[in-house]
Structure 1
Amino acid sequence: MAASDAAPAPPHPHPHALILPYPAQGHVIPFMELAQRFLDRGFHVTFVNTEFTHGRVMTADAGATSWTGSSSAAAGGGARLRLVAVADGIEDAGDHENLVLLNAAMPEAIPPQLEPLLDGTGEGLGKVTCVVVDVAMSFALDVVKRRGITSAALWPSSAAVLSAMVNAEKLIRDGVIDDDGAPLNLVNNSFHLTEFKAPMDATFLAWNYMGNRDAERLVFHYLATIAQTAATKTDYLLCNTFADIEPIIFTDSTPTIIPIGPLRTWQRQTRHGPIGHFWHTEDVMCMSFLDAQPIGSVVYVAFGSISIMTAEQVQELALGLQASGRPFLWVVRPEQASKLPVGFMDDVDESRKGKVVGWAPQEQVLGHSSVGCFVTHCGWNSTLEGIRNGLPMLCWPYFLDQVTNQTYICDIWKVGLRVAPAEGGVLVTKSRIMELLDGLMEDEGVKERVLKLKETAESNMSEEGASLKNLNILMESFESKTF
């Protein structure tokens, strides 16, 4: 056959990433930002949530139409993004947020549903060429490996906690912890991950901060299992962090864990709303209040989607904020609102010095010039968002790695203050809250240090930043295995 008669070569397919987060807001948010990065580079993306989470995200985000590409609801033949829902294996509608039941059900229910998605059956985007799973969804890696698909596992919290999880067996052999994760041999309340690493605070064994030993034992075995599975069955182990804030982990020239963060910390001109949140309300209530306040004056209070306070503590916090004389914006979830003092909402509205809302667009709030400090539960997303916006933090952790992150904020980075002892159980009074707010917002050293961290975070995700380079290398690797 003459060269001129040869059939044209088929067009190269686009790389196609399947992304699978754990069904919790703190996991979905950074994974959606990662998906956006893949879309920016020209990938096709299949984003998989459980049905329960998918419904909440789609309702809150009005179909995710602010994404580059289009949502599953609007997808036509050329769409590059598909949002997919899979059953989580939970039959009782009231149990979808029961993490014990969820963690037991998903490994059986989800992998068979991934098979047709990986094959690209009936969805127009073609076969999946690469996969990024949450470390907490590492059970999905077996079906991925059977197809020979390149994969990565992303941990959306700190690398220190992930390192402790991955090294759990070694810590047991070294006598640092027992077979159920409880500390055995701590020196000055610290331990060594390896002989070459600096000592790490006991709070980096995050599973020991549940307040219940039976629960801690269960969580330890769960975390150690998912981390070990991810470390041994994936091609790349990723973390939503940057090396400069965790030098205790990133001291090796070729680290096992690859930092690609901070994810979810920059503005996009095409984005009109916060992707991945489970709640939605009008932004105007929050932002118009902030617009009316002096620069750097507002105390922003938000404790995430899980933390719970006693009614007595909620009332002390309310009275402390009110008596501080500082303007405040406080996110009080609907199920917690009944704990507020009688008449508090009316007093706040009348004074115009405070605002209580059921939900807030946190990234927009933290980036507003009137916000001067962040009272936080120390979730990793919130911690990174506080750093990214250069805000001192008042730390009020609830459990698990939130206690670890408090150690980073208060003891290592020195950009915040503790509200209560790590063991908890102490009522923080109105006067103590006032004292802490004054101390934090008037400490120029804290402000200087957190602004330096802000610059470092921005640098890492800039064009020449180390984390963005890592992310680009990952995507290049995925692209090279497409054809």
Structure 2
Amino acid sequence: MGKQPHVLAIPLPAQGHVGPLLKLATKIAEHGVKVTFVNTEFIEAKIMASMPEISAIGGSLIEFVSVPDGLEHGDIERDFEKSRNIMKKVMPGKLKELIEKINQVSDDQQISCVIGDVNAQWGLEVAQKLGIPSAAFVTYGPAILALQFHITKLIDDGVIDADGTALKDGLISISEGNLPWKFDEFPWMVRGQGKIQKIIFESSIEVVECVKMSNWVLSNSVYELDASSCDLVPNILPIGSLLASNNSRFLAGSFRPEDSSCLSWLDEKPIGSVVYVALGSSTILNQAQFDELAIGLESSGQSFLWVVRPDILWGPVAIFPDGFKKRIAGRGKIVEWAPQEKVLAHSSVACFVSHCGWNSTLEGLTMGVPFLCWPFFVDQYQNSRYICEAWKIGFELTRDDHGIVTRHEIQAKITKLFNEESIKGNALKLKEKATNSLAEGGSSYKNFQRFIAEIKFS
């Protein structure tokens, strides 16, 4: 009997990164591979508080450990530069200590593979230094990764400068067959935040090096959704969509308690009648935009489920327009956080007003739900363009000259989407494509089985 394979999974400590890696870790564990999941102490406390069942369900599949990250509470959410610098300094040593401690326990339980978030470079670098095989886990779409692989060429060709700023207007294509990029919508572009843009751009360059040093590149995507981008990334293994709803024992990894009362509320609504609004875990609105969204939903005449985080505004708690909650009683449901996959899978949900983060994008299209796209930063603009232009499963909400999505725009686009049968049809076709990839013999199924076989018998 050989040594039991033992995977150490290391996410970037952020909601959109911990969740998909935890789903992957659970899937791996269910194939008989021992998994140790590493969170920072701050993130682990959040997950355990919001998901008490994680100890009972996860404990039988995955061992959870935490390490100190050197951060004060809130740093990771509010001070990107500070958190990145501290973690790059602190985490490698802590991870090395953890791996050495685990390896000392038993020769048969030693770490045989590290799966590290491609944006948490320290994990993959530690694995390389210790001579442990590693897999880079990519939580965003293959189009972004393909672009990152072309950064050096774009600089050499005079398309962008050394800080990632486009040197020409218009559309920029990295390869024939790929959806071109708008010059001001590269994922590292942060308007008015030059320092942050520089950090994200440098991280994009580091991603390429991490991918090159890894034995596997695991992508939470579906090959058929963007085959041309996948073909530009060496050794990529699209294994998505990674969904908790595929298995009752999968863990969503939510940082916030999910309000399941919205599911029984949805049960009472007609099929295809509800607008679901969720703008992610980090999108921030101002009060004026919040008011426009509220009135736009109200004036649409449709039932709606709206996720309103306590921190959806900078500073003060969001204030609803006068009389709003009374007027929409029965027709509108407001929750602080929702079990999103279950909501999107519900037959009463007709469309998804989304920020177009990659996790939300994958979840929506895998459930066959049309989109109203409201991107804010990083990869969300290009994801929105895939939704609207490449896949044709949604419409974009257009901002006015002041950067506001008005109530009239919201009302008009909801009405348009409810009456657009071609969008609904395309969404169902894409759902079938994504679902088939996960079924036995599908592309994601075969890629995952290949990875499991290789870590078991390598």
Deviations 1:145-204 (A, max 9, x none): 222211110110111111112321122112221111011245xx222325x554622266
Deviation for aligned residue 1:231? 2.0
Deviation for aligned residue 1:436? 0.5
| Residue 471 (structure 1) aligned with residue 448 (structure 2) | yes
Deviation for aligned residue 1:476? 1.1
SS at 2:230 equivalent: coil
| More deviation, 232-241/302-311 | 232-241
Q: Rate the CA distance shift 1:474–1:132 in 2: closer, same or farther, 3 A.
A: same
**Which residue does 1:414 correspond to in 2?**
392
TM-score, with normalisation over the residues of structure 2? 0.93
Looking at structure 2, the residues matched to 420 and 338 of structure 1 have their Cα atoms a distance apart, in angstroms, of 23
**Which residue does 1:3 correspond to in 2?**
none
Deviations 1:248-290 (A, max 9, x none): 31346x844221111126421445xx5201111441x201210
SS at 1:335 equivalent: coil
**Which residue does 1:305 correspond to in 2?**
281
Q: Considering only CA atoms, is the larger Rg found in Structure 1 or Structure 2? A: 1
Cα contact 1:419–1:436 (8 A) shared by 2: yes
Cα contact 1:297–1:372 (8 A) shared by 2: yes
Q: Rate the CA distance shift 1:261–1:424 in 2: closer, same or farther, 3 A.
A: farther
Deviation for aligned residue 1:229? 2.5
Looking at structure 2, the residues matched to 39 and 204 of structure 1 have their Cα atoms a distance apart, in angstroms, of 38
Q: Read off the aligned partner of 1:439 and give its amino acid letter.
A: K
Q: Read off the aligned partner of 1:261 and give its amino acid letter.
A: G
SS at 1:248 equivalent: helix
Deviation for aligned residue 1:80? 4.9
Looking at structure 1, the residues matched to 395 and 61 of structure 2 have their Cα atoms a distance apart, in angstroms, of 45
Cα contact 2:222–2:240 (8 A) shared by 1: yes
Deviations 1:379-414 (A, max 9, x none): 100001110111110011111111111111111111
Match of 1:171 among 136, 147, 154: 154
Looking at structure 2, the residues matched to 260 and 425 of structure 1 have their Cα atoms a distance apart, in angstroms, of 41
SS at 2:188 equivalent: helix
Q: Rate the CA distance shift 1:123–1:450 in 2: closer, same or farther, 3 A.
A: farther
Match of 2:253 among 266, 272, 276: 276
**Which residue does 1:93 correspond to in 2?**
73
Q: Rate the CA distance shift 1:256–1:168 in 2: closer, same or farther, 3 A.
A: farther
| Residue 35 (structure 1) aligned with residue 25 (structure 2) | yes
**Which residue does 1:126 correspond to in 2?**
109
Deviation for aligned residue 1:440? 0.8
Match of 2:242 among 251, 254, 263: 263
Q: Read off the aligned partner of 2:214 and give its amino acid letter.
A: T
Q: Rate the CA distance shift 1:38–1:66 in 2: closer, same or farther, 3 A.
A: same
- The unaligned stretches of length 5 or more in structure 2 are none
SS at 1:19 equivalent: strand
Deviations 1:49-108 (A, max 9, x none): 1111111111111051464xx42xxxxxxx552111111122x33424222111111122
Q: Percent identity?
A: 37
Q: Read off the aligned partner of 1:313 and give its amino acid letter.
A: Q
Cα contact 1:19–1:48 (8 A) shared by 2: yes
Match of 1:448 among 403, 412, 425: 425
Match of 1:183 among 166, 169, 179: 166
Q: Rate the CA distance shift 1:364–1:239 in 2: closer, same or farther, 3 A.
A: same
Q: Rate the CA distance shift 1:123–1:358 in 2: closer, same or farther, 3 A.
A: farther
**Which residue does 1:160 correspond to in 2?**
143
Q: Read off the aligned partner of 2:357 and give its amino acid letter.
A: G
Match of 2:212 among 209, 232, 240: 232
Cα contact 2:171–2:180 (8 A) shared by 1: yes
Match of 2:270 among 294, 297, 300: 294
**Which residue does 1:74 correspond to in 2?**
none
Looking at structure 2, the residues matched to 378 and 388 of structure 1 have their Cα atoms a distance apart, in angstroms, of 14
Cα contact 2:115–2:137 (8 A) shared by 1: yes
SS at 2:284 equivalent: coil
Q: Read off the aligned partner of 1:262 and give its amino acid letter.
A: S
Cα contact 1:392–1:441 (8 A) shared by 2: no
**Which residue does 1:324 correspond to in 2?**
300
Q: Rate the CA distance shift 1:404–1:265 in 2: closer, same or farther, 3 A.
A: farther
Looking at structure 1, the residues matched to 445 and 323 of structure 2 have their Cα atoms a distance apart, in angstroms, of 49
SS at 1:193 equivalent: coil
Q: Read off the aligned partner of 1:452 and give its amino acid letter.
A: K
SS at 1:278 equivalent: coil
Q: Rate the CA distance shift 1:320–1:174 in 2: closer, same or farther, 3 A.
A: same
Q: Rate the CA distance shift 1:376–1:211 in 2: closer, same or farther, 3 A.
A: farther
SS at 2:109 equivalent: coil
Q: Rate the CA distance shift 1:424–1:151 in 2: closer, same or farther, 3 A.
A: farther
TM-score, with normalisation over the residues of structure 1? 0.88
Cα contact 1:160–1:204 (8 A) shared by 2: no
Looking at structure 2, the residues matched to 140 and 83 of structure 1 have their Cα atoms a distance apart, in angstroms, of 16
Q: Rate the CA distance shift 1:478–1:121 in 2: closer, same or farther, 3 A.
A: closer
Q: Rate the CA distance shift 1:140–1:65 in 2: closer, same or farther, 3 A.
A: closer
**Which residue does 1:335 correspond to in 2?**
311
Looking at structure 2, the residues matched to 211 and 259 of structure 1 have their Cα atoms a distance apart, in angstroms, of 34
Deviation for aligned residue 1:245? 1.2
Cα contact 1:138–1:229 (8 A) shared by 2: no
| More deviation, 337-346/41-50 | 337-346
| Residue 151 (structure 1) aligned with residue 134 (structure 2) | yes
Count of residue pairs brought into register by the alignment: 450
**Which residue does 2:378 correspond to in 1?**
400
Match of 2:339 among 333, 338, 361: 361
